[in-house]
Structure 1
Amino acid sequence: METAIAFIIIFGAIVFFHELGHFLFAKKAGIMVREFAIGMGPKIFAMTKGETLYTIRLLPIGGYVRMAGEDLDSIELQPGFRLGIRLNDANEIEQIVLNQNKQFPDMLFLEVEKSDLMKEMYIEGYNEEERLVRYKVARNAVINENGKETFIAPYDRQFGSKTVGQRSLAIFAGPLFNFILSFFIFVALGLLQGIPTYEPVITTVVPESPAEQAGMQDGDLVTMINGVTITSWKELSEEVKVSPNEAMDFTVERNGESLDLNMTPNEVVAGKEKVGQIGVTYSSPMEKNPVKAVVYGAEQTYNTTLLIFTALGNLVNGQFSIDDLSGPVGIYKVTEDVAESGVYNLIYWAALLSINLGIMNLLPLPALDGGRLLFFLFEAIRGKPVDKQKEGMIHFVGIMLLMVLMVVVTWNDIQRFFF
């Protein structure tokens, strides 16, 4: 149960920030957002605020921001269609009732002759006296159909009316917010847990090792090796690694005193190499520094991003196979293991997942944010958008392929963890 709660909270937070990026930049561009959803499938919570429906859905495997004009959500009033209307104080239509079974105060009835609910914003038709009348439609008018109210979307509030740059930013903002979230998580870890200093401080000396025989002790700070100044554990490790069976002079600082120690690293086989080893373990000292925490957040975000791109490159060149990929089941299982190792590791895992989600969504594949950005690039180069039907078909095929991939990786996860 604890693992399930941790998984839902982590994945929900990551999806929330992803969709928040889409939402904020869409609103900034003046695009009407019809729904902000966390999760997929049936609604378990819904709240309308302003022109947006906020929902939490049953399956914690994604989310979406539904913008006006992205799907076929516009309603065309065909000639001869009979509807009810209500007017505001400016004599503009503020409510259009398509289901007339329910009566509203001050409702008027029209038989539609012609209308435009996107650009010119009017309805023209015959009233109860069979006179042809024309009413302007308010920009904030709602359509009531079977009790469900939907705001109309004037063309300038629709996704397709915006410039390529505005649409691109609204789509790119989702992955961008995943990187921003990871950055702040890493900064928070730096402030709460501390930042590794990577100082060459010996944590533990292995019994009967060259280090113990030379007199090295836990807590010794290595300052020099063979006359070369050592400032980090990486430098210490590299010097020892390339010197198997070679006598080495160490200078260490212990209780404020400087001591000289001599030892010869053992030769061990690591892969196809023979390397030196003196028999010590290392755990970096931690420090809490707000400025360094910010730097640490940026470095960790960059390094993790680079690592994931490297893994994707290995997948392309065949060094990494599809059998090694994990889906929701694999992520759940890893979350369970990480949760057992402590809250800080769980928070770190959340940052990794957020970056991973951001990168995956930027891949230039149909149905993903990266695929949509690719279409915007084509539009910018050609000077006109790709045919909507063709683009829709490509995205549909992409969704089907992604679903097949999800089934494959989920089956791999089930076999890996349960059989």
Structure 2
Amino acid sequence: MQTVLAFIIIFGSLVFFHELGHFLLAKRAGIMVREFAIGMGPKIFGMTKGETLYTIRLLPLGGYVRMAGEDMDSVELQPGYRVGIILNDDDVAERIYLNQSVTHPNIVFLEVERADLEKDLFIEGYDEEDRLVRYKISRNAILVENGIEVMIAPLDRQFNSKTVGQRAMAIFAGPLFNFILAFLVLTLLGVLRGVPTYEPVIHDVVDNGPAEMAGMQAGDLVREINGVEIDRWQELQGTVYDNPGKELSFVVERDGKLLDLTMTPTTLEDSGDQYGQIGVSYQSPVEFNPLKAIVFGATQTYNYTVLIFELLGKLVTGQFTIDALSGPVGIYKATEEVATYGIFNLMNWAALLSINLGIMNLLPLPALDGGRLLFFGIEALRGKPIDRQKEGMVHFVGIVLLMILMVVVTWNDIQRFFF
């Protein structure tokens, strides 16, 4: 149960921040957001605030922000429709009821002749006395059909009416917010756990290893190796690793005094490569400093981003196969394992997943944010948009292929962990 809860919280947070990015930049551009959804599938909770429906859906495997003007969002009033219109005191239509009986003191029934719900905002038709009448429509007018209410979206509130730059930022903001979330989590980790200094301080010494035989003790601070100054643990580790079987002269600081120690790293072999080891363990000292925690958050976010791109490069070049990929099942199992090491490791894992989600969404593949950004780039170069039907078909094919990939990856995960 603990793992399920951790998985839902982590995955839900990643999706929430991703969709929040889309939502905030869409609202900033003046785009009407019809729905902000966490999860997919049937709705289990919904609340309308302003012009947006906020929902939580059954399957915690994603989410979406539905913007006005996207897909099949537009509503048209065709000639011959019978509608009921509720007017305000200025005779402006505020609610339009389609094909149903409504009782209201200010209602007017019309058989639609012409209507424009996007640009000119009017409705024209024949009333019950067969007179041709015309009414203005409020920019916030509500359409009601079969009990379902939908606010109209004037053209200037629709996604496709915005500039290429505004649309691109609304889409790019989703992955961007995943990087921001990772930075915030890693910064908080630095505040709570402290920022590693990576000073070359020996944490423990292995019995009968080269270090112990030379007199090295836990708490020793390594200052030099073979006359070269050592400032970070990685430098110590790299020097020992690269010198198997070669005598090394150490200068260590212990209780404020400098001591000279000499030892020869043990030679070990891995896949035909030899490396050295002196038999010590490391646990970095930490520093509690809010400013350094911010730097730590930014640095770790950058390092994880580079690492993921390197792994992607290996996948593209064939050094990794599709079997190395993990889907929701693999992420769940990894979360289960990480959770056993405590909340700090779980936070670090969440940050890594957030960066991974941001990068994956930026890949220039159909149906992903990166694919949409690619089309915006082409539009900017051409000076006009690509036909929406053609673009929609490309994204549809992309969705199908991604679903097939998801099924394959999930099946691999199930075989790996349960068979």
TM-score by length of 1: 0.98
Which residue in the other structure is 2:256 paired with? Answer: 256
Match of 1:230 in 2: 230
Question: Which secondary structure does the structure 1 equivalent of 2:215 belong to?
Answer: coil
Q: Which position in structure 1 is the counterpart of 2:20?
A: 20
Aligned to 1:267: 267
Task: Tell whether the 8 Å contact from 1:159 to 1:167 is kept in structure 2 after alignment.
Answer: yes
Secondary structure of the corresponding residue to residue 40 of structure 2 = strand
> Which moved further from structure 2: 152-161 or 265-274?
265-274
Distance 2:105 2:256 in 1: 88
Bigger mean CA deviation after superposition, 52-61 or 68-77: 68-77
Letter in 2 for 1:182: A
1:112 maps to which residue? 112
Residue 9 (structure 1) shift: 0.6
Q: What displacement does 1:99 show?
A: 3.4
**Superposition deviation, residue 237 in structure 1:** 1.6
What residue is the counterpart of 2:7 in the other structure? 7
Q: How does 1:191-202 map to 2 (within 5 A)?
A: 191-202=191-202
Which residue does the alignment assign to 1:351?
Answer: 351
Per-residue CA distance 1:256-296 (angstroms, 9 max, x = gap): 22222122222222333222221111111111111111111
Separation (CA, whole Å) in 1 of partners of 2:249 and 2:308: 40
Which residue number corresponds to residue 244 of structure 1? 244
- Match in the other structure for 1:209: 209
In the alignment, residue 27 of structure 2 is paired with which amino acid?
Answer: K
Structure 1 residue aligned with 2:143? 143
**Partner SS, residue 27 of structure 1:** helix
Q: How does 1:270-285 map to 2 (within 5 A)?
A: 270-285=270-285
Aligned length: 419
How far 1:106 sits from its partner (Å)?
A: 2.0
Residue 309 of structure 2: aligned partner: 309
Matching residue's letter, 1:33: V
The code of the aligned residue for 1:103 comes to T
Spell out, residue by residue over 1:85-134, the C-alpha distance to the aligned partner (whole angstroms, 9 max, x if none).
01112211000001323433421101111111100100011111111111
1:196, distance to aligned residue in structure 2 (A): 1.1
Question: For residues 246 and 63 of structure 2, what CA distance do their matches in structure 1 show?
Answer: 59
After superposition, the C-alpha distances for 1:389-411 in whole angstroms (9 at most, x for unaligned) are 11111111111101100100000
Helix, strand or coil at the partner of 1:245: coil
Whole-angstrom CA distance in 2 between matches of 1:131 and 1:74: 28
Structure-1 residue corresponding to 2:407:
407
SS of the aligned residue for 1:143 comes to strand
The residue type equivalent to 1:194 in the other structure is G
The C-alpha deviation readout for 1:216-265, integer Å capped at 9, x for no partner, is: 11111111122222111111122222333332221111112222212222
Match of 2:152 in 1: 152
Specify the alignment match of 1:88 in structure 2.
88
Q: Which amino acid aligns with 1:310?
A: E
Match of 1:45 in 2: 45
Q: Residue 96 of structure 1 contacts residue 144 of structure 1 at CA under 8 Å; is this kept in 2?
A: yes
Bigger mean CA deviation after superposition, 53-62 or 191-200: 191-200
Aligned partner of residue 103 in structure 1, secondary structure: coil
The answer (yes or no) to whether the contact 1:223–1:253 under 8 Å persists in 2 is yes
In the alignment, which residue of structure 2 is the partner of 1:61? 61
Q: Specify every segment of 5 or more residues in structure 1 that has no aligned partner in the other structure, as ranges.
A: none
Which residue identity lines up with residue 177 of structure 2 in the other structure?
F
How well do the aligned residues superpose, as a CA RMSD in angstroms? 1.0
Q: Residue in 2 aligned with 1:289?
A: 289
Q: In the aligned structure 1, how far is the partner of 2:198 from the partner of 2:359?
A: 29
Question: Judging changes above 3 Å, is the alpha-carbon distance between structure 1 residues 9 and 105 closer, same or farther for their aligned structure 2 residues?
Answer: farther
2:84–2:101 CA contact under 8 A, matched in 1: no
Query: What is the DSSP-based 3-state SS (H/G/I as helix, E as strand, rest coil) of the residue aligned with 1:31?
Result: coil
Return the alpha-carbon distance in structure 2 between the equivalents of residues 102 and 359 of structure 1: 51
- The SS at the match of 1:128 is coil
In 2, the alpha carbon distance for the partners of 1:298 and 1:390 equals 40
- Cα deviation, residue 192, structure 1: 0.4
> Following the alignment from structure 1 to structure 2, what is the Cα–Cα distance between the partners of residues 307 and 30?
37
Match of 1:115, SS? strand
Report the residue type matching 1:258 in the other structure.
L
Report which stretch shifted further, 133-142 or 69-78: 69-78
* TM-score in terms of structure 2 length: 0.98
Deviation string 1:309-364 (CA, Å, 9 cap, x unpaired) is: 11111111100111111100100110111111111011111101111111111111
Counterpart in the other structure of 2:391? 391
Give 1:407's aligned amino acid. V
Find the aligned partners of 2:73 and 2:239 in 1 and give their Cα distance.
Answer: 66
Confirm whether residue 32 of structure 1 aligns to residue 32 of structure 2: yes
Amino-acid identity (%): 70
Query: Quick check: 2:84–2:102 contact (8 Å CA) kept in 1?
Result: no
> Over residues 140-196 of structure 1, what are the superposed CA-to-partner deviations in whole Å (9 max), with x where a residue is unaligned?
100011111110000000001000000000000000000000001000000001111
Instruction: Kindly indicate whether the alpha-carbon contact (under 8 Å) linking 1:99 and 1:144 is maintained by their aligned counterparts in 2.
Output: no
Unpaired runs of at least 5, structure 2: none
Per-residue CA distance 1:22-58 (angstroms, 9 max, x = gap): 0000000000000000000001100000000000000
Q: In 2, distance between residues paired with 1:234 and 1:10?
A: 31
Residue 224 of structure 1 contacts residue 251 of structure 1 at CA under 8 Å; is this kept in 2?
yes
User: 1: distance between equivalents of 2:350 and 2:283?
Assistant: 23
Q: Which range moved further: 11-20 or 125-134?
A: 125-134
SS in 1 for 2:283: coil
Q: Is the 8 A contact 2:82 2:99 kept in 1?
A: no
